[in-house]
Amino acid sequence: MSHSVHLTEDPAAFLAEASGHLAADPVVATVIASVTQRLLESDQRGLPRGDHPRWWAMVRDETGAVVGVAMRTAPFAPYPVYVLPMPDDAAVQLARLVHDRGEPLAGVNGALPAARLAAEETARLAGGEVRVHEHLRLFELGGLVVPPSPPGRLRLATSADLDLTLAWFRAFGIAAAAQAGRSEAHAMPDFTPEDMLERIDKAVVWLWEDEHGERVHLTAANPPAHGVTRIGPVYTPAAHRGRGYASAAVAAVSRQYVEQGVRCCLFTDQANPTSNRIYQALGYEPVVDMVNLVITRPGPA
């Protein structure tokens, strides 16, 4: 069966046409569903879009049904395309379509094998090579296992916590890379105070306070899309690690969502044994392996 790939720069149009496909597997689709909804809300509020590439792709079969999706919305280098499962020929078509648009592409993230096929075709067209930056694993919560609670309490962040939460969101990428044995930080958006205040206002950022009232840990989440929330980032400063704050906070946040009938998922870096161990002990179960790929071009001879 042949497939066609169509692009749109309108998040509302994408959601109108692809929502059924996203809802059919909302855990795997969590990133595209939640990011697209957030960008649609930003557009509706008249916020600036930035000058990076921003589009969504839909793969259709011969009947016109959507059978795959991708997006390019990341506001940080290398501005990767994010690819969900799709037919092999469509992943290759997507790479060719981006190339024909004249868009340099130095990164492809997402589900295997589609992400690898799109990256390899991009490298072939541009004369480059593909290397793995991160191997990721998507987990979904099965039966929650609540761990022993350390001293202190979990509470929602408030605007008074703005400076600290913003600093910890920014620190997460560096810390996650270090725990996985990499010197290059995990690619993250450059969060602004306005971004953080929006998350705080939506009640999706929590802090753990120890028995002395000191803020020692942050767990965040994304507003649910199609009945699924994605937990993260999860950050504990080095001086406070090893005391069970991350386990207790993620369990407590997960339980709040479960009690609302919302499914919980999260990503881990497969090279980070600490996070993988913690989340599996809480009852998170692997769903699919994903990858972040970088496309490099040879330098001058």
**Mean of pLDDT values over 29-36:** 96
Among 30-39, 180-189, 195-204, the minimum mean pLDDT is found in 180-189
Predicted pLDDT at 208: 98
Q: What is the CATH number of domain 4-137+291-296?
A: 3.40.630
- CA 88 – CA 107 distance, rounded (Å): 18
Instruction: Return the domain boundaries, the chain.
Output: 4-137+291-296, 153-282
Cβ atoms < 10 Å from Cβ of 4: 12
Predicted pLDDT at 271: 85
Predicted pLDDT at 300: 47
Note whether 74 and 102 are within 8 A (CB): no
The CATH class given to the 153-282 domain equals: alpha beta
| pLDDT higher at 40 or 192 | 40
**Mean of pLDDT values over 152-177:** 90
How would residue 301 be classed by pLDDT, with cut points 50, 70 and 90? very low
Q: What is the DSSP string of 184-197?
A: SPPP-----HHHHH
- Listed in order, strand segments (DSSP E) in the chain are 4-8, 55-60, 66-72, 81-83, 107-111, 129-141, 153-156, 205-209, 215-221, 228-235, 263-269, 284-296
| pLDDT higher at 105 or 275 | 105
Structure tokens at 296: 């490099």
Predicted pLDDT at 48: 85
Residue 16, exposed/middle/buried by CB under 10 A (0-12, 13-18, 19+)? exposed
Tens of pLDDT, residues 275-296: 889 999 999 999 999 999 999 9
Closest CA to 217 of 246, 238, 196, 188: 246
Cβ atoms < 10 Å from Cβ of 69: 24
Closest CA to 88 of 59, 66, 62, 108: 59
Average per-residue pLDDT in the chain? 93
How far is the CA of 82 from the CAs of 54, 115, 136, 244, 272, in angstroms? 11, 8, 13, 33, 22
Closest CA to 154 of 200, 216, 231, 241: 216
Q: Would the pLDDT of 182 be above 80?
A: no
Determine what percent of the chain is predicted with pLDDT higher than 70: 94
Among 4-13, 201-210, 240-249, 272-281, the minimum mean pLDDT is found in 272-281
Tens of pLDDT, residues 83-94: 999 999 999 999
**Mean of pLDDT values over 213-225:** 97
Asked if the domains 4-137+291-296 and 153-282 are classified in one and the same CATH topology, the answer is: yes
